[in-house]
């Protein structure tokens, strides 16, 4: 656990929220939500902001599906027979192929940042869910021994090198994918949230 | 106020106006509903490399593709 230093360090409200949004995206995209999670998602209420409206759509989509349907949808979108409708990997979006240079670059940077893939995970590290999870950890300090987040400049560099250059297109594709029902508002949330992130990074530069 | 502080305040204001609190929900509430996924995703210390942490993600893919 991230000990005393972490307790002394207070995460700002907006950084806590940023990390939460990334974790939400990571959780929704890592695997189809379980029944228990769906029940919670159905209760969400959004406000009249764009993100709030997307959250309301997500709640509606969660009401319109169940776990079996969701498993099928997830399978059709991301796994498929041979290949799903979408390949949610940075390397694929950037080069047209899996396991290409962008993945090697990411692995190098993860090494520097002290992050590595869990042994139990077979998927390459440039999967969108993994990248969202890494961003959350960089923002809230989960990957630092002292629990202190990495500086904003490092977050920005990581974002721009590994996420900002392709994930917005992925989320647009997800919104438009033939099988996307529950995942359509997930695509919207991802697209909107990353646009906010990109703009905010520009402001800090 | 330094330029750095001003920028950080702008940024804070921007996040607020962009609705990342999303009014009614707020990120924390969203995360809470996503439930146990949050725990599975907790980075854990690797026993072999002190200071290194692991991320855990996307492990059900192959299981699902058995259908």
The per-residue DSSP string of A112-141 comes to HHTEEE-TT--S-TTBHHHHHHHHHHHHHT
B19–A51 C-beta distance less than 8 A: yes
Residue B40 clears pLDDT 80, i.e. is over it: no
Instruction: Read off the pTM.
Output: 0.83
* A72 burial via Cβ count (<10 Å: 0-12, 13-18, 19+): middle
Angle (CA) A186 A188 A193, round 5°: 95
% helix, strand, coil for chain A, step of 5: 65, 5, 30
Task: Tell me which residues of chain A, numbers 167 to 186, contact chain B at a CB-CB cutoff of 8 Å.
Answer: none
User: Percentage of chain A surpassing pLDDT 70?
Assistant: 96
| Range scoring the smallest mean pLDDT among A79-93, A97-111, B41-55 | B41-55
This complex has an ipTM of: 0.77
Task: Tell me which residues of chain B, numbers 22 to 41, contact chain A at a CB-CB cutoff of 8 Å.
Answer: 22-38, 41
The arithmetic mean of pLDDT across residues A25-54, rounded, is: 88
A78–B24 C-beta distance less than 8 A: no
The arithmetic mean of pLDDT across residues A138-158, rounded, is: 91
pLDDT at B27: 47
B25–A44 C-beta distance less than 8 A: yes
Q: Which residues of B touch A36 (CB under 8 A)?
A: 35-36
The partner residue sitting opposite B23, judged by closest CB among A49, A78, A193, is A49
* A67 burial via Cβ count (<10 Å: 0-12, 13-18, 19+): middle
Pairwise CA distance, residues A125 & A127, whole Å: 5
Residue A76 clears pLDDT 50, i.e. is over it: yes
Q: B3-38: per-residue pLDDT in tens?
A: 777 878 788 888 888 888 765 454 445 555 444 333
pLDDT at B5: 78
């Amino acid at each position: 656990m991230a000990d005393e230093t972490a307790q002394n360090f207070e995460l700002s409200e907006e950084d806590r929220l940023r990390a939460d949004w990334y974790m939400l995206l990571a959780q929704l995209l890592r695997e189809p939500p379980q029944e228990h999670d769906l029940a919670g998602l159905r209760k969400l209420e959004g406000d009249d902001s764009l993100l709030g409206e997307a959250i309301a759509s997500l709640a509606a989509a969660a009401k319109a599906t169940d776990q079996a349907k969701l498993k099928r949808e997830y399978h059709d979108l991301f796994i498929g027979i041979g290949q799903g409708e979408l390949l949610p990997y940075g390397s694929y979006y950037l080069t047209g192929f899996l396991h290409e240079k962008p993945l090697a670059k990411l692995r190098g940077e993860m090494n520097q940042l002290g992050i590595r893939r869990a042994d139990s995970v077979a998927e390459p590290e440039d999967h969108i869910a993994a990248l969202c999870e890494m961003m959350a950890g960089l923002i809230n300090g989960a990957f630092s021994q002292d629990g202190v987040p990495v500086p904003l400049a490092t977050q920005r560099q990581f974002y721009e090198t590994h996420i900002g250059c392709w994930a917005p297109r992925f989320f647009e594709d997800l919104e438009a994918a033939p099988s996307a029902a529950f995942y359509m508002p997930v695509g919207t949330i991802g697209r909107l949230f990353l646009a906010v992130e990109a703009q905010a990074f520009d402001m800090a530069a | 106020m330094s330029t750095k502080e001003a920028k950080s305040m702008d940024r804070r204001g921007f996040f607020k106006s962009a609705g990342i609190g999303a009014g009614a929900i707020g990120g924390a509430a969203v995360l809470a509903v996503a439930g146990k996924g949050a725990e599975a995703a907790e980075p854990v210390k690797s026993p072999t490399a002190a200071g290194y942490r692991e991320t855990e993600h996307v492990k059900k893919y192959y299981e699902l593709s058995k259908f």
